[in-house]
């Protein structure tokens, strides 16, 4: 008999699913611009961040610890393609070398930023076009208004 205990987000009973998207609201911990990440198939956070290399993986606990007390983290979930997007992100994050918002070309992995990274994971990994504006700058907070994404929960860092 296998006891598969579901993985949950820190300090909650909300289940973590591969492909989940976490939006960190605008504040000091996100340098006042917001940030967005994807959950990989192994329940790690996969992101594009400033620094070299820009493709980065960390645990949900490490992600939570980066935030300040009172910060809000919104859990967003695509209506389809989460598992496939998560696998694509895991397999491709190592190709993200430089963080830049100046390269909006969806085909470019090397030069990337957080929002474009999520769009790529769904577009290339799951054949899901989260927005019709793939080659424009997309703000992290734009994901909250995308029709193909559902808002599941809002966590407040204690």
**Per-residue confidence in pLDDT tens, the chain, 158 aa:** 445 678 999 889 999 999 999 998 755 555 545 799 999 999 999 999 988 889 999 999 999 888 888 888 999 999 999 999 999 999 999 999 999 999 999 999 999 999 999 999 999 999 999 999 999 999 999 999 999 999 999 998 77
Q: For residue 144, which of 102, 113, 110, 115 has the smallest C-alpha distance?
A: 115
User: Is 15 in a helix, a strand, or coil?
Assistant: strand
Closest CA to 89 of 124, 130, 58, 135: 124
User: How far from the centroid of its chain's Cα atoms is residue 36's Cα?
Assistant: 4
Q: Locate all alpha helices (DSSP H) within 107-152, ordered by sequence.
A: 114-126
Indicate the angle between helix axes 114-126 and 82-92, nearest 10 degrees.
Answer: 120
According to DSSP, residue 80 is labeled: S
C-alpha span between 122 and 105 (Å, rounded): 15
Q: Angle 35-41-46 (CA atoms, 0-180°, nearest 5)?
A: 25
Look at residues 32, 42, 146 and name the one whose alpha carbon lies nearest to residue 93. Answer: 42
pTM: 0.92
Instruction: List the domain boundaries for the chain.
Output: 21-156
The alpha carbon of residue 158 and the mean position of all alpha carbons in its chain are separated, in whole angstroms, by 21
**Fold of the CATH domain 21-156:** endopeptidase fold (from Nostoc punctiforme) (3.90.1720)
Which residue in the block uniquely carries the two structure tokens 């790690």? 44
Q: How far is CA 65 from the centre of its chain?
A: 16
């Amino acid at each position: 008999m296998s006891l598969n205990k579901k993985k949950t987000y820190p300090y909650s009973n909300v289940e973590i699913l591969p492909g989940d998207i976490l939006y960190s609201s605008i504040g000091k911990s996100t340098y006042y611009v917001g940030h967005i990440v994807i959950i990989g198939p192994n329940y790690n956070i996969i992101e594009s961040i400033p620094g070299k290399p820009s493709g980065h993986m960390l645990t949900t606990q490490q992600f939570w610890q980066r935030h300040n007390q009172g910060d809000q983290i919104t859990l967003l979930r695509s209506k389809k393609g989460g598992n496939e997007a998560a696998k694509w992100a895991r397999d491709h994050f190592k190709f993200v070398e430089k963080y830049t918002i100046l390269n909006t070309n969806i085909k470019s992995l090397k030069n990337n930023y957080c929002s474009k990274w999520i769009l790529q994971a769904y577009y290339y990994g799951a054949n899901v076009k989260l927005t019709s504006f793939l080659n424009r700058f997309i703000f992290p907070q734009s994901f909250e208004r995308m029709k193909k994404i559902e808002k599941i929960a809002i966590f407040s860092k204690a």
